[in-house]
């Protein structure tokens, strides 16, 4: 009988999976999961894409990201639903 290893033993712990709104200014990450919002795909926010946080507004303001060679603005409430790998 073969015993399955827990998934976490195969993962690299140098990469953290976090909500996009937790990134710091200048930090780059790879999109891991996105909510079902059609606008995100048209902005280039898709699984596997690299993004860089350019600016994060105070409190609950928007985030400015660099993706697909352009800057885009994302509402903080949506950024909280986008999962990225640092």
CATH class of 34-86: mainly beta
What is the spatial distance between Cα 11 and Cα 23, in angstroms, rounded to a whole number?
21
Q: Domain residues of the chain, as ranges?
A: 34-86
The three state secondary structure string of 13-25 is CCCCEEEHHHCCC
pLDDT band at residue 59 using 50, 70 and 90 as cut-offs: confident
Place of tokens 């950024």: 79
Give tens-digit pLDDT for 37-48: 989 999 999 999
pTM score, two decimals?
A: 0.79
Query: What is the Cα–Cα distance from 53 to 75, expressed in whole angstroms?
Result: 13
Distances (CA, A) of 61 to 3, 30, 64, 74, 79: 48, 22, 10, 9, 11
């Amino acid at each position: 009988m073969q015993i399955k290893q827990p998934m976490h033993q195969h993962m690299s712990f140098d990469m953290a999976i976090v909500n996009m709104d937790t990134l710091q200014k200048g930090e780059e990450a790879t999109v891991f999961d996105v909510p079902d919002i059609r606008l995100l795909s048209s902005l280039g926010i898709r699984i596997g894409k690299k993004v860089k946080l350019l600016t994060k507004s105070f409190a609950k303001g928007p985030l400015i990201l660099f993706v697909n060679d352009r800057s885009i603005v994302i509402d903080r409430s949506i950024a909280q639903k986008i999962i990225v790998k640092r």
